[in-house]
Structure 1
Amino acid sequence: MLGPAVVPEIIDPTDAEKETELAVLSAVAHGNGPSGLTVVQAALAALGRLDQAHAMVYFQVIWNGLREPMRQALEALVMERQIEGEATFPPSLQRLIDRGIREGELKGMREGRLEGKRDTLLRLLARAGIALTEDESARIQACTDVATLDRWIENVLGAKTAAEVLS
């Protein structure tokens, strides 16, 4: 079985460049651990020597394997080095990182917007005295469509039951 116990922790960029694919696996396996940022930086440095198509795929694999705290730490490091004028990564890789950060920000904004709408709907239902079953509550929490949530919010006005709201 492939996992952190069998994948070496590659923290040296020179080693990462020699074994780029292993460095990518190392970043996925150890990127959220205590040495995560160092492991990820080594892997990203190795991606700089690849063509853009391969670098993009590997970057996306690494990015998808990172949990939010490590993504934020990587974003902060990249921004800090940009402010200080240091070249963190080769230009093509820097563009990939910037794109990943933007996509992450957009995803975060979308999730925040959905969460706000869910909260608004739940507060309106509570104020209207409309009780929810466990299934109805789960349905609201699982909804990822803004238009549906907007429709349900509008349905609260004049509704007597949750079934009327969630129709």
Structure 2
Amino acid sequence: MTRADEVSFVQPLDQFARWVSQRRPLEWVLSMLKYLPMSTTTSEELLWRFARTGDPEIDARQERILEVLLSANPRMKQRLVDEGRLEGRLDEARATLRRVLAHRQLALTSEDEARIDGCADLATLERWHDQALTAASVPQALR
């Protein structure tokens, strides 16, 4: 199938998916997303419609659907767990770095704070922590 054939095939499915998603229950739409080829843009758009609604009953059903999907896909569940662990380690490394700098009475500027918050590399945060133990200034610690 050529790229032009794919586009002409997917566009009607995108239109159908948008139309039917307003008329069918969540479970049905999720099944459609699972089995029908459609553009990434459309599938993402439909998935975002299922974000928190503020209605406790709907939110509870969505959480149940998510639990079932994650139990059916252990690799995805593990990936999410691993990402959560990494984010926790990054948060702890940032907090530890700040404690060391505060203990050493090295004041952070807003730029320094943003740089620490923006760092998503655990090795860099650990290096900064080690440097902060003996650095004479914040710029020296964060080099």
TM-score, L = length of structure 1 = 0.55
**Counterpart mapping for 1:1-167 below 5 A:** 8=22, 10-11=24-25, 13=27, 25-33=45-53, 34=55, 35-36=58-59, 38=61, 70=63, 74-75=66-67, 77=68, 94=72, 97-167=73-143
Q: Which has the larger radius of gyration?
A: 2
Distance 2:91 2:80 in 1: 16
Q: Label 1:156 to 1:18 Cα distance change in 2 as closer, same or farther (>3 A).
A: closer
* Structure 1 unaligned blocks of 5 or more: 1-5, 41-69, 83-93
Q: Name the one with the larger helix percent.
A: 2
Q: Which amino acid aligns with 1:100?
A: M
Q: Label 1:11 to 1:156 Cα distance change in 2 as closer, same or farther (>3 A).
A: same
Runs of 4+ displaced beyond 4 Å = 12-22
Deviation at 1:156, TM superposition (A): 1.1
Distance 2:59 2:92 in 1: 32
Q: Label 1:144 to 1:14 Cα distance change in 2 as closer, same or farther (>3 A).
A: closer
Q: Deviations over 1:67-112 (max 9, x none)?
A: xxx5x9723x568xx7xxxxxxxxxxx2xx3222111111000000
Q: Deviations over 1:87-144 (max 9, x none)?
A: xxxxxxx2xx322211111100000000000000001100000001100110001101
- Percentage identity across paired residues of the two chains: 26
* SS of equivalent to 1:130: coil
Distance 2:23 2:66 in 1: 17
Deviation at 1:32, TM superposition (A): 2.6
Figure out how many residues of one structure are paired with residues of the other and give that number. 115
Q: Label 1:101 to 1:10 Cα distance change in 2 as closer, same or farther (>3 A).
A: farther
Q: Label 1:10 to 1:31 Cα distance change in 2 as closer, same or farther (>3 A).
A: farther
